[in-house]
Amino acid sequence: MALQVVRNEKELLEEAKQAEANEDLETAEKRYEQLIKQDPHHELPYDRLMVIYRRQKRYEDELRLINKGLKNFGDVYKKKEEKFIAKHKELSRLSNALIKKAGLQKNEFTPQPIAKWLKRKEMVETKMKKSR
């Protein structure tokens, strides 16, 4: 069984950027994927990998990556929101009551990078439909 060396994030990121600058997209892709595997909540590797896929017109791969990023980041924000609501139950109750009393709709804020990736997802799906 081969021993796999886990490189630190900084080294991998530098290797990926260098490979991308040298147009070695295959190596860059592998390094960004390693970074995502090591830390699925780091935005930069997702963004750079999406660019690589886009340049190569690999829309299925880009869509798969976007969905993976949306899930990973969505889970993080959902947990933070649940934790906040649990900690501040009275504030949440009052806020919801005020929104209802004022006849407003609950403001749904979509944090970054989720909002950006949702927009990109729409564009990729449109390009995929056109290419069929």
Which one is predicted more confidently, 98 or 19?
19
The structural domains of the chain, ordered by start, are 9-131 (1.25.40)
Least confident of 1-5, 25-29, 88-92: 1-5
Q: What is the mean pLDDT of the chain?
A: 90
Residue 120: predicted pLDDT: 97
Rounded to whole angstroms, the Cα distance separating 19 from 11 reads 12
Short-list 72, 76, 62, CA closest to 122: 62
pLDDT: is 17 or 108 the higher one?
17
Residues of the chain above pLDDT 70, percent: 95
Compute the residue count for the chain. 132
pTM for this prediction: 0.81
Distance in angstroms (rounded) separating the CA atoms of residues 32 and 13: 7
Confidence of residue 1 (pLDDT cuts 50, 70, 90): very low
- Tell me: pLDDT of 28 over 80: yes
Residue 117 vs residue 3, higher pLDDT = 117
35: Cα separation from own chain's centroid: 13
**17 vs 76, residue with greater confidence:** 17
